[in-house]
Amino acid sequence: MESSKRWMHRTSLLLLLVGAGISLTWGISLERGVRGGVMGFPGIYFGTKCLMQGCDPYQVNQLQRVYQAEGFQISSESVERRQSVSLYVNLPTTSLFVAPLTLLPLAWAQAIWLFLVVGSFLLAALLMWRLGEDDGPGVSLLLTFIVLANCEIIFSGGNTAGLVVGLCVIAVWCLLKERFVFLGIICLASSLAIKPHDVGLIWLYFLLAGRVQRIRALKAGALALALGLIGAMWASHVAPHWVPELRSNLATISAHGGINEPGPTSIGVGSPDMIIDLQTFVSIFRDDSHFYNPVTYAVCGAILLAWLIVLIRSRPSSENALFALVSVTALSMLVTYHRSYDAKLLLLSVPACAILWAEAGTLAWVALVISGMGVLFIGDLPLTILMHFTRHLYSPAAGIAGKIATAVITRPAPLILLVTAIFYLWVYSRRTLTISGNEQT
């Protein structure tokens, strides 16, 4: 019996490595197949190099001079390409992490960065698989494999989301398992400093999840704040007007025709790494930021308020923590700009779904369907296929029934994220109330 378990464990591990190998191989071929490469890490590299040389990366002309001095040709073949290269929108804290790599040639720096991204992401996935393996080995393997086999875009361009997701998930494992806690605090602080809009609500959970976790969250928050202040002072010394310039760049790429516009005809929702926030779903019904932004904030605000009430009333529990974290992770993807690679944070749903699967019954199957669709519709290959077949489906003249069908078919990611947030919040609330009732009895 024991030997059979070891054989299954090793076979599962091999399958997961095969899934990661698919993403890595395809991602590298994608990088080499795109003229000029995929602008993930190179954009951060040259932006940081600009700061290192004493120029302002948030100004298009100064950043372009760095590209030209390095012999990097900026293609003007598409709006997406031009904006991703010339409009720098990363926080200065990101440059703190990349600065040592700018001392190396781009090819060497990108290879090291890719090693960090793949290594942290793969470790995070394996930790979530192992966390769920005892409760539901088959479910844990299935969900983790789907995620690992659909990370081509992260691995091709070296987007910071890959590192942030890896570090954040590792931090969650460390803090919940009470192992390597110091490492967990550093990982949480680092991911929070690079992408606070990805990790902020996860950090908020630990801040409110009892005294022990609150102390750890405060340490991570203090470290992230220190990194932020150092990055801001560096940027302010080199580029005194970097804050309004960053806001201007963000406004440009988010405006009509920009790469981050959530509207129904945006190039940002017509690509495999499509935007997945709730605005992209609501904009199908009315393409007006004065409509889809308030609707999104109202829906997400109501869910967040309910989540906070349940969290404050509940007692800390490492098992129930997973349900709270999956719910707020899905919610954080909906509030504001995020792309499919950010939602790889749904790796946290692997052990949460496995817990429910072990309890069997109807709820187990509902959890599997919702979690399975969640990791599937943030995957690069499914979204590529979806984009290919639905790119011309939107019709502004369609009636309400047609718009509903269009939104469901062309924007499944924000819809399933919304369902995931609500479902796991319901599970979290239900289990919390059950525990409280049993204690009172």
What average pLDDT does range 129-158 have in this prediction? 89
Determine how many CB atoms are found less than 10 A away from the CB of residue 238.
18
Residue 32: per-residue pLDDT: 63
Using alpha carbons only, how large is the chain's radius of gyration in Å? 22
Distance CA 35, CA 198 (A): 30
> Cα dist. 310→104, 180, 313, 424, 429 in Å?
49, 28, 5, 12, 6
Return the top range by mean pLDDT from 39-48, 194-203, 265-274, 429-438: 194-203
CA distance linking residue 324 with residue 380, whole number of Å: 26
Between CA 138 and CA 136 the distance in angstroms is: 6
pLDDT given at position 36: 46
Whether this model's pTM surpasses 0.85: yes
pLDDT tens for 181-232 read: 999 999 999 999 999 999 999 999 999 998 999 999 999 999 999 999 999 9
pLDDT computed for residue 441 by the predictor: 46
- What SS3 class is residue 411? coil
User: Is the pLDDT score of 84 beyond 80?
Assistant: no
Instruction: Please provide residue 167's backbone torsions phi and psi, each rounded to the nearest 5 degrees.
Output: -65, -40
% of the chain with per-residue pLDDT over 90: 52
Sign of CA dihedral 28, 32, 34, 35: positive
* pLDDT-based confidence at residue 383 (cuts at 50, 70, 90): confident
Percent of the chain with pLDDT over 70: 91
Place of tokens 């040259």: 46
Sign of CA pseudo-dihedral 204, 430, 281, 166: positive
Taking phi over 0 as left and psi of -120 to 50 as alpha, with beta for the rest, 256 belongs to beta
DSSP 37-50: --SSHHHHHHHHHH
In sequence order, what are the residues at sequence separation of 6 or more whose Cβ sits closer than 8 angstroms to the Cβ of residue 374?
330, 346, 349, 416, 417, 420
Taking residue 79's Cβ as centre, other Cβ atoms within 10 Å add up to: 13
168 close to 202: Cβ distance less than 8 angstroms: yes
| DSSP letters for 102-133 | GGS-HHHHHHHHHHHHHHHHHHHHHHHHHHHH
Q: 3-state DSSP call for residue 256?
A: coil
344-362 in b/e burial notation, b at 16+ Cβ within 10 A?
Answer: bbbbbbbbbbbbbbeeeee
Mean per-residue pLDDT, 13-23:
89
Question: Rounded mean pLDDT of 68-78?
Answer: 67
Dihedral angle, C-alpha 267, 269, 272, 276, nearest 10 ° = 150
Residues 6+ apart with CB under 8 A from 136: 353, 354, 355, 357, 358
Distance CA 15, CA 376 (A): 17
Length of the chain equals: 441
Average pLDDT, the chain: 87
